[in-house]
Structure formats: C-alpha cells, structure tokens
Amino acid sequence: MKKHFLVLFLFCFTISNAQESKYAIIIHGGAGNGLVPGNYNEVQTAAFHHALNAALARGDSALAAGADALDVVSLVIQVLENDSLFNAGKGAVLTYEAKASLDASIMDGASLEAGAVAGVSCIKNPITAALSVLRHSPHVILSGAGADRYAQEKGSICVDPSYFIIPSKLKTIKRIRKEQEALDSAQNHKMGTVGCVVRDREGNIAAGTSTGGMMAKRYGRIGDSPIVGAGTYANNSSAGISCTGHGEYFIRNVIAFQVANRVDLIEESGQEAADYMIHDVLSSQKAFGGLIGIDRNGELFYSFNTTGMLRGFKREGEKAQTYIFSLEIEGDN
C-alpha cells in the first residue's frame, strides 16, 4: 500500500511540476560596436524595438497555444528573416559578387538532433530549410545548390535571389568593391545575425540562428551560424544558446557548446558561463560578439562585449522587454 501511495505521489508531483512550468523566449538581432545611441535617431530605435517585439509576440502566441520549443524557434526566426532591418533573409548582407548567401541552424535540446544549411540562395526563410534537415535528413548540414533543392522538395518557399537584395546593401557592396577594401569595410557591416532560444512548458529547450554572414565575404566563406556547437547549441540538461559576432572566433572556441558544457559539468549558471566565454575567452583574443540563452532551470541570460546587441525576452505572463545598447544604459526599450 505504501509503495502504491509513493508511486501515486511521485506521479502527481511530476504532473504538477509540468503544469507549473512556464515558458520563456529570448532573441537577438545581432551585436556590434556601431550600436551606440548617437548613431540612431528615435525613428530608427523605435523600428528596432518594434521588430523585436513583433518576433517575441509571435513566439509568445505560439507557446501560449501549446506549440513546442522547436517549432517556436522556427516561427520567431522567420519573423526576423522577413524584416530587412536584420542580416538574415531579406536585407541580408551581400557577398563580394553582390549576391545573398544565407546560413541557418536549429537544434532540439530534448533529442540533440540538429539541422543546418549553408550558402543557400533562393530559400525565403533559411531557418525552415534547417528545420527540414533536422526532421527529414540523415545529415546535419547541407550546403549550396543541394541545400536549396532539398529545402524546396521539403516545402520551403523558393524566391528569386533578387528578393533578398535591398538598395542599401547593394550600394554598400558596390562601394566596397570599388574601393577594393572588402575586408576592412566588412568590419562595419556584420551586425544583424538573428537568433532565438525557447524553453516550452514541457521544459524542452531549442535554439536557432540565421544570418547572411559577413559583408563582402568571398570564396564560399561560412561563419559560425550554421555550425552546431559554435553558433547554435541546445541540450535540455544544460542550456540553449544562439550566438552572433565574429564567426571565425566562435568556431575556433566552439562558444555555444562551451557555455552549455560549463553549465553541465562545473555547474555554473548560464550567465556565469556566458560572461566567461564572451568577456574572458573572446575578449582576450580581441574578438567581438555576443550570445543569448536559457539554462536548464529556465533562467534567461545574455552577454556581449560590443557597444550594443539587439535583444529581447519574454517569460510567460510577463511583459516583453527589448534592448539595443550596452548594459550601462539598459532600459532603453
């Protein structure tokens, strides 16, 4: 009798905890040293806040309706990919050849399954292609024309490559090519990669990242965004992370995985792990960027070593918060 009572108690306790678990969502729209108040007027900052809030609202609505973390990450990133304010999807930065070359990845913290695409040129929402790879392919990363074709076969929308190009980005790449200073000029046009991490009511964590990469990139360069462990990582036992910044350094240091690993193995909080990887590891290498995440306890965190990072978050039942500039002037939403 006691044994049956104990089993019933544990069952009810588990159900109660599941019911009490609240969802959370955190997003970023890129980090950069050009993000300082003097560079943006009120209209421009309002546009950033509006865009971040629209993405959070889409995720909040889906989570409230019972959607799982993986689907919500895709839905939220699609909102950001469709907004030309960011360096992902429409309005992404262009290659040296004045073309869009897009990367994205997504990971399920419950199963550790992941999907990614690199160098796609006609998929309207690259994050949907990454999700298709996760769900339908035996592989993790597909690239180039093969990724475009695969995504179309799995239902992703294909558009003419001109869809991604907006006048301001075309003007910038023409200037860079004319001046033959692609590498130097590129440093001023990297901000805008987008990412999302979600923890749903079941306690499952998912993370995703989408980008157009580095302005004026050449020779098929691929950054950290489609690399699982570098730009994106999720594991229910530790944390979910999405990164933005100088991709080569995020790859070399496997930043996303290292944050999760520190949470799991040395029991740091997500915030402690993030701050160490950004401010100790990256800063010591004179590399710049930031990351967002949610740890296994549902705690939100973010860290960056630039003058600003477009970011926002929302917990179930609470007001959404969005920020643009540095921690010292937080509260700019």
Q: Where are the domains of the chain?
A: 23-329
List, for residues 61-76, the tens digit of each pLDDT value: 999 999 999 999 999 9
Q: Which residues 6+ apart lie within 8 Å of 209 measured at CB?
A: 77, 104, 105, 106, 193, 194, 195, 225, 226, 231, 232, 242, 243, 244
Structure tokens at 117: 């695409």
Cβ neighbour number for residue 111 with a 10 Å cutoff: 14
At 60, is the pLDDT very low, low, confident or very high (cuts 50, 70, 90)?
very high
User: Distance between CA 260 and CA 185 in Å, rounded?
Assistant: 33
User: Distance between CA 2 and CA 5 in Å, rounded?
Assistant: 5
List, for residues 118-151, the tens digit of each pLDDT value: 999 999 999 999 999 999 999 999 999 999 999 9
- Annotated active-site positions, please? 193
The partner residues of 123 in beta bridges, in order of sequence, read: 158
Question: Is the pLDDT confidence value at 19 over 90?
Answer: no
Which residue in 142, 130, 169 sits closest to 177, CA to CA? 169
| pTM for the full predicted model | 0.91
pLDDT of residue 181: 52
Phi, psi of 110, deg, nearest 5: -80, -40
Phi, psi of 245, deg, nearest 5: 145, -150
The correct answer on CATH 3.60.20.30 for the domain covering 23-329 is: yes
User: Distance between CA 292 and CA 312 in Å, rounded?
Assistant: 9
Question: Is the pLDDT confidence value at 310 over 70?
Answer: yes
At 178, is the pLDDT very low, low, confident or very high (cuts 50, 70, 90)?
confident
- CA 232, 31, 273, 286 dihedral sign is positive
Mean of pLDDT over the chain:
90
